[in-house]
Structure formats: structure tokens, C-alpha cells
Amino acid sequence: MSAVENAKAVLRRLTAASATERILISFAALVMAVLVGAVIILVSGRITTCQTAATTLFGTGFCYDPVEVYLVLFNGALGEPFLLNDPALFNPNWNPLNFGFALTLKETTLLIFTGLSVAVSFRAGLFNIGTQGQLVLGGLATALFSFFVAPLLPSGLVGGLILIPLAIVVGALVGGLYGAIPGALKAYADANEVITTIMLNFIAAQIAFVLVSEFFGNPDSQVVETTPIPDWATLLPVAFPQGGDFSILALAFGLALVVAVWFLLEQTSFGYDLRTSGEQPEAAEYGGVDAKRTTVTSMFLSGALGGMGGAIWVLMVMGKWQAGVPALGFDGITVSILAGNNPFGVVPAALLFGTLKSGSLAVQFGTGVPKQLVGVLRGLIILFVAMPEFFRMLGSTIDLEPDRETVATDGGRLGGDDE
């Protein structure tokens, strides 16, 4: 069997894997990532210099202890519920409503929106790499709308109940319209959506920068940012500490959106058209599905979810729009692949991603491991866990049927004795 056939056989096996097998594969990949990361930590600790070795193996001292690094990583993401150097193990003063856990949930919440955005487009057979741009413009629209409309409303709880939902809708509309552009280019001009969405990311960043720096900037700030919106018009933390920039209301909204997207994709005729267009476009068109309209609508929906992510970033985290928007849209691609493009899978994938991002801060401060090495560990875990799902998606998009020997029209072999 040739190397190509071997590769196809592996892809066929991954594509046919059951849900249980996929979970086991992801868990095994996570274990492998941890083991490979441990080796990298040991090697890095060996080539650096320190006064006291953090751990000793086979008589050789190492500056970094991989066990300590991983324990601090996950313990820090949860707000240190365990006493790592104490026989008591559990921290009696641990409160789940702590700052570290709030940071983890903040990242998780934002990634739920961007992960859903990418998942919807993938289910439609479209590669929306432009969630970042849709998030940027959606967030900017939310910030400007909130700033200009807030003076027209009563302040306090009543004003917040009116303004916040409207601001999220505005962010979703702007993100959706921006996402529909590459959808229309794909549907009516056959433009590759990967290229157009990547380019639109840069265009969105520049548009937002020019608008804020030239027209809507905060006159009291040296940074390119909008004027802050009133506190009553933001998603304030409920029960969690102020500095964590996390609102449980935003998480609840994100989880409700997960259910809504799943229902839309799995239980409605639009979702059936969208999924069929992505999995079997020829069959979908033969069955009467308007492929062009479905493409534009799918990208609008994907962009709207990205725009909502930007709105939540403004209303929950920043309280304004500011240049240097974090790469939440690009992280959403990994989250979606990790989740197998399943809306419900987006939640644990976003939680894993949020844990790694939040816990890496604890590693930097708690162990002295350089942040570059922490970034390598985080990327390693994401790479190992996401790759099986990536190849499974790849296998579902290409022809994996074994090569068959060409036969003559009369059923005989070409080049046979009767030829």
C-alpha cells in the first residue's frame, strides 16, 4: 500500500470515528501534549542557569519542574483551590467566586461567541477566517451606539436594560453585514472566502483605527480609543470581583446562544439547508436549496455571532473600544476545530482555551518560567488536541474512496488479451 493510500486509510478511520472514539482520541492527544511539554520544560530548565535546581532526575538537576508548572497552570486558572506544598491539599479559604476563576470564565465567554461564529460557517462548508474583523467592527459599533444613545435614556438599571440588548443587536448587525460581504463575493463572483475574509480582517482593523483616531476618539486620552460608556450601560460583574472583567450574565447569554444555534442548525429547515450545502452541495442544489442565498445568509449569521463577541468584549471587559483588539476571532478558529464544529462542543473547547490562557499568567508569576515557554506549552496542547479534529474535517471534504482499477466499458480489463 502506498503512502497516499495509508494516509487516506487514516483519514477514513478518523472520519468514521464515533463520538466516544473522538473524545478518547482528544484525551490521548492531551496526555501526549502534556508529556511532550514536560520534556520541553526539562530541556529548557537544563540549558538555563539557576542557583537551586527545581527538580532532580537521575542525578541531574533541572531549573524547571514540569509537574509544578502544570499544577500551577491549572490550579491558578481555578483560583488556587489546592495547596500544592501542603499535606492538607485543599485550600480551606478557596472561594469559587475568585479573581483567577473570573479571568478564566471571561476568556471562555468571549471564545464561546467567536467559536460559534466559526462553527456556523464551517458547517455551511465555508471557511470564515474573518471573525476577527467582524468582531472589531461589531465592537466599535456597540461602543459608538452606547455612547451616543446613553444620554437619551434614563441612567441606572432601567437604562441598562434598554441599552445593553440594543447595543448587542447593533454589534451583531454590523458584524453580520460585514460577514455577508465575503459571502456575497463567494456566491456571486466565486471569490475564495478564505482570501477575502483574511483581507477584510486587515481592512476592518484599519477602518476602525481611522474612524476612532480621526472622528470618535477620546479627547482626554493619548491612546486610540473611544470615550468610555457609562457604567450602568455595561455588563457589570455579578458576585465575581470587579477586576476580573467577567459578568455571569454574559456567560449565561453565551450558553443560551449555544442552545439557540444548535436548535437552528439541527431542528430547522434553514439549518438543514445550511448543513446540506456544506456537506453535499450538489445534492442540496438538486433538492432545491438556493445555494447562493444560503452562502450569504450563513456568512451573515457567522458574522453576527462574531459581532456579538465584539459587543460583549466592549460591554463586559473594556467599557469602550480600544485599538489592539485581542485575537479572539483567530482563537475562535481553534476552538471550533477543537469542538468538531458542534455548538455544544464549543463550550468545553472554549473552557480549555480559557483555562490555558488564564493559567499561563499564574505560571509566569508563580514559577519563574518565561512567558515564551508558557506560550509554547499552551500552543502545544492546542495543537495536539486540535489536530485529530482538523484531519477529520479534512477527511470529510476530500474523496477518500480507494483507487479503483479502470475498467473497460464492456466490463473487461484494459490492456487485456481481448484488447
What pLDDT score does 243 carry?
A: 73
| DSSP conformation letters of 140-152 | HHHHHHHHHHGGG
Amino acid at 144: L
Q: Which three cell numbers stand for residue 230?
A: 457609562
Burial 192-225 (b: 16+ CB within 10 A, else e): ebeebbbebbebbbebbeebbeeebbbeeeeebb
Q: Which of 77-81, 124-128, 215-219 has the highest mean pLDDT?
A: 215-219
Which pTM value belongs to this model?
0.86
What pLDDT score does 277 carry?
A: 76
User: In this predicted model, which residue has the larger pLDDT, 418 or 107?
Assistant: 107
Looking at the predicted structure, is the pLDDT value of residue 260 above 90? Answer: yes
Measured CA to CA, the distance from residue 244 to residue 133 in angstroms comes to 25
| pLDDT tens digits, one per residue of 70-82 | 888 888 888 888 8
Q: Mean pLDDT across the stretch 155-168?
A: 93
Assess contact for 109 and 179: CB atoms under 8 A.
no
What pLDDT score does 415 carry?
A: 45
Q: How far apart are the first and last CA of the chain?
A: 28
Which has the closest alpha carbon to 407: 396, 415, 417, 399? Answer: 415
Looking at the predicted structure, is the pLDDT value of residue 2 above 80? Answer: no
Assess contact for 30 and 382: CB atoms under 8 A.
no
| pLDDT tens digits, one per residue of 372-419 | 887 888 788 878 877 877 777 777 666 666 655 544 445 444 444 443
